[in-house]
Amino acid sequence: MLIDTYDRVATDLRVSLTDRCNLRCTYCMPEEGLQWLAKPDLLSDDEIVRLVRIAVTQLGIDEVRFTGGEPLLRPGLVSIVEQCAALTPRPKMSLTTNGIGLKRTAVALKAAGLDRVNVSLDTLRPDVFKTLTRRDRHHDVLAGLEAARDAGLTPVKVNTVLMPGLNGDEAPDLLAWAVEHGYELRFIEQMPLDAQHGWKRDGMITAGDILSSLRTRFTLTAEGDGERGSAPAERWLVDGGPHRVGVIASVTRPFCRACDRTRLTADGQVRTCLFAREETDLRGALRSGAPDEEIARIWRLAMWGKKAGSGLDDPSFLQPDRPMSAIGG
C-alpha cells in the first residue's frame, strides 16, 4: 500500500513513457522544443513493466495511465500495454495522448489490452490549432479520436485548456461537438506547465468562467461529490444527461485532499505530485540489482512524505524547474 501521513492511499499510477512530443503547444514548451533526455537515462520497456508489476502486485495500484510527452512516440508501447494487461490482478489501463498517432495505433492498443484514451484537443478551429501547437495537424487529431471510438477505447475523453484571446470563446461549441460525437469533454484550468515559465495567474480562464460560458447554451446539473470520488474532474449532466462534461479546477478548486496518484517519470523517478519539487530515484535501484521488495520499500517511503497540497492555490507559487514533458500529465 502507498499511504501518506494524511491517510491518502495512492491507487492510480501515472507512467511517463517519453519526454518527447510531436507538437509544440505554447503552454507546454518553446517552439524549438527542449533538450530531450538521453536514451540511456530513459527507462527501458522491461524496466517500465517491472515497476508497474511491483506497483500492482505489491503496492495496491489498480489503475495505470500511460502519459508523456507523447506516449504514442514510444516504439514499444503496444508491447508494454500487452505485458501490463497480463498482470494479476489486472489493472485498468488508459492513455493520455495528443491523438496524432491514434488512427494507426488504436486497434492494436485495444487488442493489447488498453481500456480507454484521453485525447488533448483545445479547439475546433484548424487555424487556432496551428497557432496553439505550432503544427498543422488538426485533421490528424480528429481522425485519431474517431479511430479510438471505433476501436472501443471508450469512454473517449477529450481534454481542453482554454486561453484568453485564442480559444477562450469556444467552450459551448466544443461541448456541442463532443455531445454530437459521443466524447466526454473535460475542461482543465491552465496550469504552470510551460518550460519557459510564461504562465500567469492573472487573466487565467477559471472553472467559474467556463461554467458560466457553458450555461449560456446548456443546462448543467452537478453530479455531486458522491459520484466524483477521488477523480480530479467535477462533472455535470448536460441537459439532463446522459452526456456529461467535466471541469478540472486545479488552480481555483484544488482537490489534493482526495488525491490517489503516484507518478513515475520517463527516467525512473517517483514524484508524489505533478508539481512536487522533490523526486525519489527508482532507476538507480533497478540497475543496481535491487530486489522487488527493496524497490517497493523505497516507493512506499517516497509516498509517505507526500505533502498536503500542490501549492497551486498559493498566489506565490513558483513553477517547477523540471520540464513537465518528462513527468507526465
Residue 257 is predicted with a pLDDT of 87
Residue 225 is predicted with a pLDDT of 62
DSSP 19-64: S--S---TTTS-TT---PPPGGGSPPHHHHHHHHHHHHHHS---EE
Residue 327 is predicted with a pLDDT of 62
Grid coordinates given for 90? 489486472
pLDDT at 260 over 70: yes
pLDDT at 167 over 60: yes
32: exposed, middle or buried (Cβ count in 10 Å: 0-12, 13-18, 19+): exposed
- For residue 150, give the amino acid letter: D
What's the pLDDT band for 232 if we cut at 50, 70, 90?
confident
Residue 196 is predicted with a pLDDT of 45
For 107, the enclosing helix (H) or strand (E) is: helix 102-112
The more confidently predicted of residues 56 and 28 is: 56
pLDDT by residue (tens digit) across 18-50?
A: 999 888 777 777 666 677 889 999 999 999 999
Q: If you ran DSSP here, which 8-state letter would residue 73 be given?
A: G
Bond before 242 cis per omega within 30 degrees: yes
* Average pLDDT for 147-165: 96
pLDDT at 199 over 50: no
* Average pLDDT for 180-201: 73
pLDDT at 262 over 70: yes
Residue 244 is predicted with a pLDDT of 96
Contact 184, 233 (CB under 8 A): no
pTM as predicted = 0.90
Residue 203 is predicted with a pLDDT of 67
* Average pLDDT for 307-320: 62
pLDDT at 231 over 80: no
CA triple 165-32-249, angle to 5 deg: 40
Average pLDDT along the chain: 89
pLDDT at 6 over 80: yes
SS3 248: strand
What's the pLDDT band for 204 if we cut at 50, 70, 90?
confident
SS3 309: coil
